[in-house]
Structure 1
Amino acid sequence: MTAAGTWTVASVADAARVRTAVAGLAADAGAPLLDRTRFVAGLTARLRHCLDQGGTWRAVVRRGRTADGGGYLQVTVRPARSGADGTPPWRRSLPVPEPDRPLTALDDGARAEALSATGDDTARILAELADAEALVRFHREELHQTNQGVLALHAELDAAALAQRELLRAERASRSEAENARRLLTFLADASAAVTASLNPEDVLRQLPELLVPRYAHRIDVWLFDDDTAPVRDGRPAAAVVAARSGRPQHAAAHAGGLPGVDDQPPSALAPGRALLCIPLVGRRTLGVLTLTAPGPRFHPDETVMLVEVAHRAATALENARLYAHHRDTAETLQRAQLTELPAAPGLLLAARYLPATRGLNIGGDWYDVFPQPDGSLLAVVGDVTGHGLRAAVMMGRLRTALRAYAVDGEGPAQLLTRLHRLLHHQQPDLYATAVIARFRPGDPRVHWASAGHPPAVVRTPDGAVRTLDTKPGVMLGVPVPYEYRDHTVHLAPGSTLVLYTDGLVERRAQGVDAGTRLLTGALGVLSTAELEQDLDAAAESLLKQTLHDSERDDDVCLLLCHTAAVPAKARPRP
């Protein structure tokens, strides 16, 4: 480090000389304008401080080199007397690019020039400051615009986020509504299947509390207008009476429910603390009123729509069940009226069974009949009119009556079937029937028989052998072709059994007729002659049990046992 100058400072003039000298030295060393201006300003402030302190001060300027090859000017200001008041020296350094550049001696003219240059430097700095201020203003305006844009962008982002939240909320609400609608539709489908699964009115009514309580109702009450057996414990709510009269659902609560398609009524005196929903049970006519007590504080509108629909379907199911029961009772009465008691015949034991189908109206066209002819012979008949229901039963009655009328002329089985064939074709061209007729003569072991498309009769001999009369039968009765039936003969020794039946006994939906026929012949073969003669009715029950296995039947079953005894015996009628 080398000394560049030393000055004594005791007055303002001394301080000015030092400031001017240092400014010139910094300019000679090539220091940047702004750096040297800051450097000189700092020195000026220090010198002013020294003058304010009073006394004499010494200012020393040195220059040197840094380790990286650069240079610097260093100014030290300290009291003239070393250690006079313990004030530490003030020292500042200024980096310069040309540390080895010769420094100009500062005489009076040089100082004046340096002072003038200081003014120029100040002017240049002010100009640069003005440019900087303009640039700052520009950037401030740009920053303001940017801030405005950012604020606008944030506002748009906030609005977009809000819109997205609203969309998500709406989507969740829609999804919840769709799920609720799906749940209600599923329940409605299940409830419809449950109430329509049975044709028993009691089963339909029993399903309602099982379906609705406790999820959709706290309790329910069914008021049927034509049911005088149901006890009325606390009377009927006024809303139920209004629903019965108006045919519209009624809501009774302290506050209006606003339920779709439902009228509002004041709260019920019978249940003032709970909302009531009274729905008329309307089918072809109004059957009654279904009253539901709300499971909570109120009924939900969507669930109310579902409950009204459940009530409507329950009413339809109840009406259908009642109509079915009426038709069934009428049909069974008609059917039973056609099945007369079996007559007593010498040397012949008779037993018959009729079982209606376990599905449908429980009535069909199956029948059996045994009656004497004028010549003393006995005709045993088993027939089956195709189809089910009242029409088949009515036609069965006509055929039975016509057969008895034709038999007065003493004609044989084949002739009787021929006349029935013509009658059925003439009266009911689209209805058909099968029948088998066997004629027994007292004391004659021969039995004459004829068949019109009927399942083959089965014969059990006294020794227990069983065979079917598999002679080809004639065509079905009513088939639109002319046909003459033929008589056949089978020998029945005393102790033999002739079994006549309809196809419902042997026909199996998945296995056909052969499997059922094998069951019948097998069951007949295990019966002894003693069992048949002692209790033919019990034998008929045993055949039914072993052949049907108590299974459900799609068709009626008719069975007629004709057992030839060695001695005259009374028939045991049990239709």
Structure 2
Amino acid sequence: MTEGPDVWTIASVADAARARAAVAQVTREAPARERARLLASLTARLRRLLRAGGAGELRLRVRRAGAGYGTRLDVWLRPVGSATPGPDDGPDLVCPLPRRTAPGRPDTGPPLPESLLRTDADTAAVLRLLDGQEHHLRLHREELHQTDQGVLALHSELEAAALVQRDLLEAERAARAESERARRLLAFLGDAGAAITASLSPTAVLRRLSELLVPTYAERLDVWLFDAENDAEHPRRVREHPAAAVAAVRTGRPQHAAAHPGGLPGVDDLPPAASSPRRPLLAVPLTGRHPIGVLTLTAPGPRFDADTSVMLVELAGRAGVALDNARRYERYRDTAEVLQRAQLTELPARPGLLLAARYLPATRGLNIGGDWYDAFVQPDGGLLAVIGDVTGHGLHAAVVMGRLRTALRAYAVESDSPAAILTRLHRMLRHQQPELYATALIARLRPGEPEVVWASAGHPPAVVRAADGTVRVLDARPGVMLGVPVPYDYAEHRSDLPAGSTLVLYTDGLVERRAQGIDPGIEHLGRTLGTLSTPELEQDPQAAADALLKPLLHDCARDDDICLLLCHTLPPTEHARHAPP
């Protein structure tokens, strides 16, 4: 609902003052801020109207603001004679009212002095409102200032935390990289140490060491191995080696030769080497049971890294042990091989018999075992052919083999029975070497007798080739191994061996393969023996022995020693042709 408008004519300053006072009276209960804004705007408009020198009309209308919003006062100030505002024309000024209040007539407004005093009261109310707002504004400014300071401090703390976190991440990344590098060096050290200690050849150890270190850890590698103890006792006599290597021999400590100190742990610093003025040298003693040489490395870059140098020094220590073991092994192997070969028999020459023998040491391991063969003439003119194998390898097995060979020859002087000889050897070995065993096969051949008498102590069976090329295996049940801790008497066996036949004795290294066992190897030996012709066997027994070995060994690595003894009987018509001069 809308009240009808009240119209005031403004023609003078007094009219304007009374009109303003009337409006102030109507809006006396309006909010102070809205009331002051309305009166200030109205006063400014009245002043402009009067300054223009014309008359104006002030229209006031109280109307409902809307459902639940109270009422409001609409104000129009227009020059006299202008069009009357329509219902759709918006007011010039608006002020909300808490309740409906009639504007009143122009002549019913408050007296002018009272209106002026009320104006001061209104101004004071506005000033109080402004003071309150200013107080709140100061509080908000202070609060905002404190908030800004807190935000700045928070930003500063966050930035410091970010820097600390970045430093921690960098330190963690560096620590991880260092840990990974140390892990790789340790893994390399383990693999390299296993690789160089796996061989018992000094040449293979040095070759593998060079392959492992060059060019990743060293541009060049030199090894000075002492040929005699004098090299270690008098290193100055050797002029061709760097001073760092000589100092390493003299002091027993690793030496670093470079233009600047390396600061490597456990390493002494020296001036740069004349042979390598631009690249540092690292000379590390090689030590086993005693000093055996010096390993000299040229840096792959401008310097040696501290962790890498620790790994190199440790690897040199392992290389020294590997080289020392390899040298000792070579000396041990050479001694045992010389001893073993010295005990192998020179085959006798007998009418009606052709003999050939082969001994092949193993290509793996110590290369020395207890395999042996023997052939000798007994007092009655018969020939004893012996093949044997002592368990184990090395110098001890070779020594025991020599003892058995000597004892067997001694027992053969008193008895020509292969079984009796084996029985006495068994008793001797049980008594003197209770933890060592051996296999052996003894065959007795007599010129003119078309048979062979033999006895076996756990040894692979002999193979016989008849004159017509047929092959058979003397597979009678063998006795127990020599030295087994039980009493045992060996049995003697007889088999036909007519003239033109060939008897082959051998050790298990010739026929035994880990993946197949021994039986397929014996069959292979029999087939190979059957391919040899009688002329081959009679014209050149040595070549026949090689022809027998070749197809059996061409496709396998020899893990064990091999002995072969070939005995070929001649027909009477061939005796004179093959008789020794």
**Are 1:4 and 2:3 an aligned pair?**
no
8 Å contact 1:72–1:99 — kept in the other structure? no
8 Å contact 1:432–1:477 — kept in the other structure? yes
**How far, CA to CA, are the matches of 1:233 and 1:261 in structure 2?**
25
**Are 1:486 and 2:491 an aligned pair?**
yes
- The amino acid that maps onto 1:324 is Y
> Quick one: structure 1 residues 222 and 106, their matched pair in 2 at CA, closer, same or farther if it must change by over 3 Å?
farther
8 Å contact 1:240–1:279 — kept in the other structure? yes
**How far, CA to CA, are the matches of 1:458 and 1:556 in structure 2?**
19
> Quick one: structure 1 residues 59 and 24, their matched pair in 2 at CA, closer, same or farther if it must change by over 3 Å?
farther
Q: Kindly report which structure 2 residues correspond to 1:325-474, keeping only aligned pairs within 5 A, or say none.
A: 325-474=330-479
Residue in structure 2 matching 1:496, options 501, 511, 524: 501
Q: Kindly report which structure 2 residues correspond to 1:155-174, keeping only aligned pairs within 5 A, or say none.
A: 155-174=156-175
Q: CA deviation at 1:236?
A: 2.6
User: SS where residue 357 of structure 2 aligns?
Assistant: strand
8 Å contact 2:440–2:458 — kept in the other structure? yes
Q: Paired residue for 2:263?
A: 258
- The amino acid that maps onto 1:94 is V
8 Å contact 2:25–2:109 — kept in the other structure? no
**Are 1:203 and 2:204 an aligned pair?**
yes
**Are 1:278 and 2:283 an aligned pair?**
yes
**How far, CA to CA, are the matches of 2:186 and 2:222 in structure 1?**
23
Q: Paired residue for 1:191?
A: 192
Return 5+ residue gaps in structure 2 as ranges.
83-90, 232-236
Q: Kindly report which structure 2 residues correspond to 1:55-204, keeping only aligned pairs within 5 A, or say none.
A: 56-64=53-61, 72-76=73-77, 92-97=92-97, 101-106=102-107, 109-204=110-205
* CA offset digits 1:15-66 (Å, max 9, x no partner): 6455434433544xx6432122123223445566778xx6734353223589
- The amino acid that maps onto 2:11 is T
> Quick one: structure 1 residues 336 and 313, their matched pair in 2 at CA, closer, same or farther if it must change by over 3 Å?
same
> Quick one: structure 1 residues 33 and 570, their matched pair in 2 at CA, closer, same or farther if it must change by over 3 Å?
same
- The amino acid that maps onto 1:147 is D
Q: Paired residue for 1:85?
A: none
Q: Paired residue for 1:88?
A: none
* CA offset digits 1:290-330 (Å, max 9, x no partner): 11111111111111111111211111111111111111111
Q: CA deviation at 1:160?
A: 3.1
- The amino acid that maps onto 1:6 is T
**How far, CA to CA, are the matches of 1:326 and 1:285 in structure 2?**
16
RMSD: 2.9
* CA offset digits 1:50-88 (Å, max 9, x no partner): 78xx6734353223589976754335476x999xxxxxx
8 Å contact 2:58–2:78 — kept in the other structure? no
Query: How many pairs align?
Result: 554
8 Å contact 2:64–2:72 — kept in the other structure? no
**How far, CA to CA, are the matches of 2:517 and 2:310 in structure 1?**
49
**How far, CA to CA, are the matches of 2:501 and 2:539 in structure 1?**
14
Q: CA deviation at 1:528?
A: 2.0
**How far, CA to CA, are the matches of 1:123 and 1:407 in structure 2?**
150
User: SS where residue 403 of structure 1 aligns?
Assistant: helix
Q: Paired residue for 1:87?
A: none
Residue in structure 2 matching 1:315, options 311, 320, 325: 320
**How far, CA to CA, are the matches of 1:14 and 1:235 in structure 2?**
128
Q: Paired residue for 1:86?
A: none
**How far, CA to CA, are the matches of 2:239 and 2:20 in structure 1?**
116
> Quick one: structure 1 residues 389 and 571, their matched pair in 2 at CA, closer, same or farther if it must change by over 3 Å?
farther
**Are 1:34 and 2:33 an aligned pair?**
yes
Q: Paired residue for 2:549?
A: 544
**How far, CA to CA, are the matches of 2:118 and 2:397 in structure 1?**
136
User: SS where residue 408 of structure 1 aligns?
Assistant: helix
User: SS where residue 106 of structure 2 aligns?
Assistant: coil
Residue in structure 2 matching 1:521, options 495, 502, 526: 526
Q: CA deviation at 1:198?
A: 2.1
8 Å contact 1:63–1:99 — kept in the other structure? no
How many percent identity over aligned positions? 63
Return 5+ residue gaps in structure 1 as ranges.
83-90
> Quick one: structure 1 residues 532 and 65, their matched pair in 2 at CA, closer, same or farther if it must change by over 3 Å?
farther
8 Å contact 1:407–1:416 — kept in the other structure? yes
8 Å contact 2:5–2:59 — kept in the other structure? yes
**How far, CA to CA, are the matches of 2:525 and 2:579 in structure 1?**
22
- The amino acid that maps onto 2:215 is P
8 Å contact 1:234–1:270 — kept in the other structure? no
User: SS where residue 512 of structure 1 aligns?
Assistant: coil
User: SS where residue 222 of structure 1 aligns?
Assistant: strand
- The amino acid that maps onto 1:63 is L
**How far, CA to CA, are the matches of 2:202 and 2:400 in structure 1?**
29
8 Å contact 2:49–2:55 — kept in the other structure? no
8 Å contact 2:17–2:112 — kept in the other structure? no
